[in-house]
Amino acid sequence: MTIRTSDNIIGDIRAELLTKIREYIDDSKFNNISGQGVHTITINLNNDFNHCLNPTGSIGAAYGCKFLWSDRDGSLDIAAYGICRRIPFDSLSEYSDRHRIYGGIMFDSGNTNGTVWNNFPADFFFIPIFEVINNQGITLTFNFTIYAENNPESIISNANKELNKLFTSARFTSTRNINSGCRIAAVKHKPDKEEWELNVTEAAEVIKSGKCRKIVLARETEISFDNPPGSMEVYGKLKKCNPDSFTFYFAAGINSDSNNFSDSNNFSDSNNYSDSNNYSDSNNYSAFMGASPERLYKRTGNVINCDALAGTIRRGDNEDEDKKLENQLLNSSKDVEEQAMVAEYLSDRLKEICSDISHSGAVQVRKFSRVQHLHSSLSGELWPHISDWDIIKALHPTPAVAGVPQKDALEFIRRSEPFGRGWYAAPIGWLSHDEAEFAVAIRSGLIQNDKLYLYSGAGIVEGSGPEAEWEEINHKLANFMRIFDDD
3-state secondary structure of 323: helix
Lowest mean pLDDT of 77-86, 261-270, 314-323, 478-487, name the range: 261-270
Taking alpha carbons only, the member of 252, 229, 136, 216 closest to residue 181 is 229
Taking alpha carbons only, the member of 242, 243, 288 closest to residue 427 is 288
Give 173's pLDDT tier (boundaries 50, 70, 90).
very low
What percent of the chain clears pLDDT 90, i.e. is strictly above it?
A: 61
In whole angstroms, what is the distance from residue 474 CA to residue 471 CA?
5
What letters, b where the CB count within 10 A reaches 16 and e where it falls short, cover 377-397?
A: bbbbbbeeebbbbbbbebbbb
Lowest mean pLDDT of 154-158, 264-268, 326-330, 403-407, name the range: 264-268
Lowest mean pLDDT of 57-71, 213-227, 373-387, name the range: 57-71
Q: Which amino acid is at 219?
A: R
Mean pLDDT of 453-481: 92
Give 482's pLDDT tier (boundaries 50, 70, 90).
confident
In whole angstroms, what is the distance from residue 247 CA to residue 69 CA?
6
More confident residue, 151 or 149: 151
In whole angstroms, what is the distance from residue 371 CA to residue 395 CA?
24
Task: Outline which parts of the chain fall under CATH 3.60.120.10.
Answer: 184-228+293-484
Give 27's pLDDT tier (boundaries 50, 70, 90).
low
Give 53's pLDDT tier (boundaries 50, 70, 90).
low
| Bridge partners, 365 (sequence order) | 374
If one counts every other C-beta atom within 10 angstroms of the C-beta of residue 265, the result is 22
What percent of the chain clears pLDDT 70, i.e. is strictly above it?
A: 84
In whole angstroms, what is the distance from residue 132 CA to residue 138 CA?
7
Residues 218-243 have pLDDT tens digits of 999 999 998 888 888 899 899 988 99
Ramachandran class of 462: left when φ > 0, alpha when ψ lies in -120 to 50, beta otherwise:
beta
Predicted confidence (pLDDT) at residue 33 exceeds the cutoff of 70: no
If one counts every other C-beta atom within 10 angstroms of the C-beta of residue 68, the result is 26
If one counts every other C-beta atom within 10 angstroms of the C-beta of residue 277, the result is 10
Predicted confidence (pLDDT) at residue 283 exceeds the cutoff of 70: no
pTM of the model: 0.91
The overall average pLDDT reported for the chain is 86
Mean pLDDT of 171-178: 49
pLDDT of residue 30: 64
In CATH, what is the architecture of 184-228+293-484?
A: 4-Layer Sandwich (3.60)
In whole angstroms, what is the distance from residue 111 CA to residue 419 CA?
9
Query: CA 24 → CA 32, 79, 148, 265, distances in Å?
Result: 11, 24, 16, 18
pLDDT of residue 11: 87
Predicted confidence (pLDDT) at residue 176 exceeds the cutoff of 90: no
Give 252's pLDDT tier (boundaries 50, 70, 90).
confident
Mean pLDDT of 186-213: 96
Spatial CB neighbours of 67, under 8 Å, sequence gap ≥ 6? 78, 79, 80, 102, 103, 126, 128, 248, 249, 250, 430
pLDDT of residue 273: 35
pLDDT of residue 313: 92
